[in-house]
A and B are shown apart, each in its own frame.
Chain A
Amino acid sequence: MIGRNDEELKELFGKFLNSQEADRAVEDVLKGEQILSEHPAPEPADELIAGIKAEIAEAVHGRRENVLRKVVYKALAVAAAVIILAAISTQLFEEDNGTPERTYVASLIPWSVWEGDDITADDADLATLVAEVEEIEQDLAVLQLGEDAGNGRNAVAELETELIEIESNFWKE
């Protein structure tokens, strides 16, 4: 930026006025400014300047305090955030390591039955039961078809008794 002292007034006015007009304009400006120089404005009182300096010192001090206060507030905010995060993390951590809730379930069916894929293979009692039931079914089928030559009525009752006995024994295990 060209400073005032380096400014070529003639050249500047010459951009808008012809040479003669530019000369006159420069003369008007210089003479006008000379009048201003010859009539200086009053100067500020020493007390005013001293007061301004004191006010500035106070403002600078206040500004520093504000900066310091901002730093402290920021630090407090960060500390609070860290504490909150730590508390939340601890809570989550404790929940992760906690013993899972245990569910107690009562069942009439033996546990081993639920554990295996092949029920009959995994549980010998059940296998025996299944075999006995199948045998009784066959006997019943024979009786129903009239293939049994003896006292059929008694044989059925006998078989039913046997079945009940087997069943009750099985569920006792």
Chain B
Amino acid sequence: MAESDNLAQIIIGCKDGDAESFSQIVDMYSRRCYGYFYRLTGNSDVSDDLLSELFVKLVSKISSYKGGSFESWLFKIASNIFHDYLRAKQRWGKLLEAQKKQLESKITQARQSDSERIDKLQIELGKLNADTRELIMLRFYSQLSFKEIAKMRSEPIGSILSKVHRGLKKLRELMER
């Protein structure tokens, strides 16, 4: 309760244009949002860019936050940013489908030049359906309830439950191999 009161105060500060309040939001959510972007893109450079875009966008969008779950609102913006990124990537390619496949593979495969260590989880996540993977990441990093996710994505809760369940079950099987 005290935590939510504190968050409410910080949001008021953000709406008043207090840079320090925005910094507090960055401290509170940057790890989770970065994790969300990283697990979806598999690329730290892209994740850096998307995280920056998210928080800068927050400055212009904070006035549109009218209460309710802040996480839900924040991750909705994060999800839109990720989809914009996907669309932009797709536009760059001459063949849409070819680019999509390339993007899918980029998510899971480490580039020779990429010095970062791609863990097993990242590789196995790439084997999941894109929508399911996104749902699982949204659920894990936003810490939203299934009901909140269903509302946010305007999807029936049964569909969300089914996708997440099947996705996590498959991930578990892949990880235990």
A45 to chain B, nearest CB (A): 8
Please name all residues of chain B whose beta carbon is closer than 8 Å to the beta carbon of A7 when the two chains form the complex: 145-147
Contact B145–A44 (Cβ < 8 Å): no
Using C-beta atoms within 8 Å of the partner chain, give the interface range for chain B.
35 or more
Produce 1/0 per residue, A27-57, CB < 8 A to B.
Answer: 0110111011001111111001101110111
Of the candidates B34, B35, B55, B119, the one whose C-beta lies within 8 Å of that of A56 is B55
By secondary structure, the B interface counts as helix
- B116 within 8 Å of A by Cβ? yes
B70 to chain A, nearest CB (A): 11
Cβ of A3 within 8 Å of any chain B Cβ, yes or no, is: yes
Whether the Cβ atoms of A35 and B171 lie closer than 8 Å is: yes
Given A7-B146, A35-B171, A49-B30, are A64 and B157 neighbors across the interface (CB < 8 Å)?
Answer: no
**B157 and A49: CB pair below 8 A?**
no
* A32 in contact with B172 (CB, 8 Å): yes
The A-contacting residues of B in range 127-177, CB under 8 angstroms, are 136, 139-140, 143-148, 151, 157-158, 161-162, 164-165, 167-169, 171-172, 175
Instruction: Report how far A108 CA is from B173 CA in the complex, Å.
Output: 122
Is there contact, CB below 8 Å, between B48 and A44? Answer: yes
Option from B31, B120, B140 in Cβ contact (under 8 Å) with A36: B140
Given contacts A1-B69, A2-B145, contact A40 B165 (CB under 8 A): no
Query: Which chain B residues border A9 with CB–CB below 8 Å?
Result: 146
Q: B11: CB under 8 A from chain A? A: no
Given contacts A32-B168, A42-B44, contact A63 B60 (CB under 8 A): yes
Partner of A44, one of B34, B168, B171: B34
Whether A56 lies near B161 (C-beta < 8 A) is no
> Does B17 sit at the interface, judged by CB under 8 A?
yes
Could you tell me if A32 and B17 are in contact, using CB atoms closer than 8 angstroms? no
Q: Is B7 interfacial (CB-CB < 8 Å)?
A: no
B23 touches A43 (CB 8 A): no
CB of A4 closer than 8 Å to a CB of B: yes
Q: Are B169 and A40 within 8 A (Cβ)? A: no
Cα distance, A61 to B162, chains bound together (Å): 46
Looking at chain A's contact residues, the main secondary structure is helix
The complex places the Cα of A64 from the Cα of B119 at a distance, in Å, of 44
Q: Which residue of A lies closest to B142 (CB)?
A: A4
Chain B neighbourhood of A61, CB < 8 A:
19
B121 touches A53 (CB 8 A): no
Closest chain A residue, CB of each to CB of B159: A16
Q: Are A60 and B38 neighbours in the complex by a CB distance under 8 Å? A: no
Task: Give Cα distance in the complex from A121 to B94, angstroms.
Answer: 107
- Do A55 and B35 touch across chains, with their CB atoms under 8 A apart? no
Expressed in whole angstroms, the minimum distance between the Cβ of A33 and any Cβ of chain B is 6
Chain B residues within CB distance 8 Å of chain A: 17-19, 22-23, 26-27, 30-31, 34-35, 38-39, 44, 47-48, 51-52, 55-56, 58-60, 68-69, 116, 119-121, 136, 139-140, 143-148, 151, 157-158, 161-162, 164-165, 167-169, 171-172, 175
A-B contacts besides A48-B52, A56-B59, 12 pairs, CB < 8 Å: A9-B146, A12-B146, A29-B164, A29-B168, A39-B120, A42-B34, A49-B30, A56-B56, A60-B17, A60-B22, A60-B59, A63-B60
Q: Report the 10 A-B pairs with minimum CB-CB distance, sorted nearest first.
A: A32-B168, A41-B35, A39-B121, A44-B34, A28-B169, A59-B59, A57-B19, A7-B145, A4-B145, A41-B38
